[in-house]
Amino acid sequence: MLKGTLLVGQSGGPTPVINASLAGVILSAREHAEITGIYGMIHGIEGVLKDELVDLQRESPQIIENLVYTPASALGSCRHKIEDKEYERILEVCREHNVRHFVYIGGNDSMDTCKRISELATSTGYEIQVMGVPKTIDNDLAVTDHSPGYGSAARFLALATRDTGLDLESMATFEDVVILEAMGRNAGWLAAASALAKTTEDEAPHLVYVPELAFDETKFLDAVSRIHARIGRVYVVVCEGVRDANGDFVGTHRMKKTTDAFGHTLSTFTIGVAAYLADLVGDQLHLRARFLRPVLIGRTMSACVSEVDRRESFRVGQGAVKRLAGGETGLMMLLNRISTSPYRCETGAVSLESVANAEKLLPRDFLEDSGVLPNEKFKEYALPLVGEAWQPVARLEKYRIKTGNEL
């Protein structure tokens, strides 16, 4: 193991458990004498470029312990796409602080950053070990069975859908349709999770739309009309990234087109596909439709954290340092599922090259033949990740009192 400072940062959208990974890194790093300092980047790689670092060894044990239960990114995050000329600056700052261990907690783009730093260091002869730690609520990181952060966001979305579905059921004389917009960009993992608490056909959600399948407005309206005619209400979940057969975002003609630093389209983040579809239902079917956009709530709600997710997030942070101690570099930590029933998962690692800028989409065989609801195969995959079982809801039998004419 190289002797020197360990530098750790967080990047991209936070999760409810990303700080558990940070705590795993810090606590594990404290066990190795070769690690002479533990520094944190303020707002990810932007902090390195500005030489804005903090000394994490000076933090109290209580604060590090509390990190495990703290949502969002404690060090601050960023979405900075590094220009070629900036990589030299990163190595310059690393040299100044004798950084020999570089750990970045993030998603697809963050793993590309790690890969390029590792390659540049090798080409310039600077000895530094680089390790990526995965996180994303979208669950779209390649190779790993699932991504830390997904289980908690999935738990939130499942309960949010079930509970607001019950609200719609109780208010069915005033409202007809609810459309909830799930995050996920190009992948339908989160949208599919909305059905994890569904136990009967008539419970929410009734329709789930994911980006992996082309969206057809006519078929959507037909499905809403048919379900409403049968039970008097319709609960729809739609991923923010759904596209039509031409590959255009649904409702794109009403959206302000923007992109982030990595070129990811943010059109659906500005107005929202759920709002568009709610208007469509009102205009075409003359039904009362409401839209819901939990967005940031779903990725920061500590009250809905999956304990399985929290433990695994800590373990991948801890495991990253253990691999650095073993002399390994150029890897991303991952989670390998050993069995589903009972659920067992181990940490592993894969080359950064295998995951950088790669995307894992929701498989077609995780959806019913209709394509508008996840199936049992998906539930078998996802349920172990959301933690302990939630309390079942009560449904009154509603025994009717006989009227005077019936007595």
DSSP 231-270: HS-EEEEEETT-B-TTSPBTTGGGS---B-TT--B-HHHH
In this prediction, residue 81 has a pLDDT band, given cuts at 50, 70 and 90, of confident
In this prediction, residue 252 has a pLDDT band, given cuts at 50, 70 and 90, of confident
| Residue 131: closest CA among 146, 117, 151 | 117
| Catalytic site includes residue 138 | yes
Query: Residues 272-294: what's their mean pLDDT?
Result: 96
Lowest mean pLDDT among 7-21, 150-164, 217-231, 261-275: 261-275
In this prediction, residue 259 has a pLDDT band, given cuts at 50, 70 and 90, of low
Residue type, 33: A
Do residues 224 and 237 touch, judged by C-beta distance below 8 A? no
Q: What percent of the chain clears pLDDT 90, i.e. is strictly above it?
A: 88
Do residues 177 and 165 touch, judged by C-beta distance below 8 A? no
CA distance 302 to 299: 9
**Is pLDDT of 152 > 80?**
yes
Does residue 342 have a cis bond before it (omega within 30 degrees)? yes
Q: Rounded to whole angstroms, what are the CA distances from 43 to 52, 83, 202? A: 9, 17, 45
pTM score: 0.94
CA distance 305 to 41: 25
**Domain boundaries of the chain, sorted by first residue:** 4-148+304-355, 153-302+362-385
In this prediction, residue 402 has a pLDDT band, given cuts at 50, 70 and 90, of confident
| CATH of segment(s) 153-302+362-385 | 3.40.50.460
In this prediction, residue 267 has a pLDDT band, given cuts at 50, 70 and 90, of very low
Do residues 8 and 26 touch, judged by C-beta distance below 8 A? yes
| Residue 326: closest CA among 158, 144, 157, 129 | 129
4-148+304-355 and 153-302+362-385 in the same fold: yes
Q: Rounded to whole angstroms, what are the CA distances from 158 to 186, 358, 387, 401? A: 19, 27, 12, 35
Per CATH, is 4-148+304-355 categorized as 3.30.930.10? no
Lowest mean pLDDT among 271-275, 369-373, 374-378: 271-275
**Is pLDDT of 245 > 90?**
yes
Residue type, 108: N
pLDDT tens profile 18-57: 999 999 999 999 999 999 999 999 999 999 999 999 999 9
CA distance 235 to 78: 35
- From the list 51, 55, 112, 138, the catalytic residue is 138
pLDDT of residue 269: 45
Do residues 148 and 316 touch, judged by C-beta distance below 8 A? yes
CA atoms lying within 13 Å on the CB side of residue 284: 16
CA distance 138 to 136: 5
pLDDT averaged over every residue in the chain: 94
Residue 65: CB atoms within 10 A of its CB come to 11
DSSP-H helix ranges across 106-247: 108-124, 150-170, 189-193, 217-231
pLDDT tens profile 305-331: 999 999 999 999 999 999 999 999 999
Rg (CA), the chain: 23
pLDDT of residue 272: 87
pLDDT tens profile 175-231: 999 999 999 989 999 999 999 999 999 999 999 999 999 999 999 999 999 999 999
pLDDT tens profile 89-139: 999 999 999 999 999 999 988 999 999 999 999 999 999 999 999 999 999
Residue type, 1: M
